[in-house]
Structure 1
Amino acid sequence: MKRFDLSGKLAFVTGAGSGLGQAIAIALAEAGADVACFDLAGVLGQAETSAAIVAVGRKALVLDGDVTEPASIEAAFDRAERGAGEIDIAVNSAGIANVSPAEAMPRSQFLRMMDINLNGLFWSCQVEGRRMLARGRGSILNMASICGSTAVPGLEQAHYDATKAAVIRLTKSLAAEWSGRGVRVNCLSPGFMTTPMNCRPEVAENVRKFVDMTPMKRMGQPHEVGWPAVFLSSDAASYCTGVDLNIDGGFLSI
Structure 2
Amino acid sequence: MNTSKVIIITGASQGIGAETVKTFLSRGYRVVATARSIQPSTTPDLVTVAGDIGDPDTAQRVIDAAMKHFGRIDTLVNNAGIFIAKPFTAYTAEDYAQVSSVNLNGFFYITQRAVSIMENQGNGHIVSITTTLVEHAIQGVPSVLASLSKGGISAATKSLAIEYAHKGIRANAVSPGIIKSPMHAVETHAALAGLHPLGHMGEMSDIVNAIVYLDNAPFVTGEILHVDGGQSAGH
Q: What is the TM-score with the length of structure 2 in the denominator?
A: 0.92
- The equivalent residue for 1:249 is 229
Indicate if the aligned counterparts of 1:147 and 1:161 stay in contact, CA closer than 8 A.
yes
1:11 corresponding residue in structure 2: 7
2:47–2:65 contact (8 Å) kept in structure 1: no
Shift, 1:192, TM fit: 0.8
Paired residues, what number?
232
* Residue 208 (structure 1) shift: 2.6
Contact 2:133–2:143 (8 Å) recurs in 1 = no
Structure 1 residues 66-215: aligned runs within 5 Å: 66-199=52-185, 205=188, 207-215=189-197
For residue 17 of structure 2, what is the aligned residue in structure 1? Answer: 21
Structure 2 residue runs of 5 or longer lacking an equivalent are: none
The structure with the largest helix share of the pair is 1
- TM-superposed deviation, 1:86: 0.9
- Moved beyond 3 Å, runs of 4+: none
- How far does the alpha carbon of each residue in 1:113-132 deviate from its partner, in whole angstroms, 9 at most, with x for none? 11210122111210111110
The answer to whether the 8 Å contact 2:164/2:170 transfers is: yes
CA drift at 1:252:
1.5
Q: Does 1:32 align with 2:28?
A: yes
Contact 1:9 1:33 in 2 (8 A): yes
The AA in structure 2 aligned to 1:105 is Y
Shift of 1:99: 1.9
CA apart distance, 1:68: 1.3
Structure 1: segments with no counterpart, 5+ residues: 1-6
**How many percent identity over aligned positions?**
28
Is the partner of 1:94 in helix, strand or coil?
coil
Once the two structures are TM-superposed, the CA of residue 14 in structure 1 deviates from its matched residue by: 0.6
Query: 1:160: Cα distance to partner?
Result: 1.5
1:162-196 deviations in whole A, cap 9, x for unaligned?
A: 21111100111111111111110100001110112
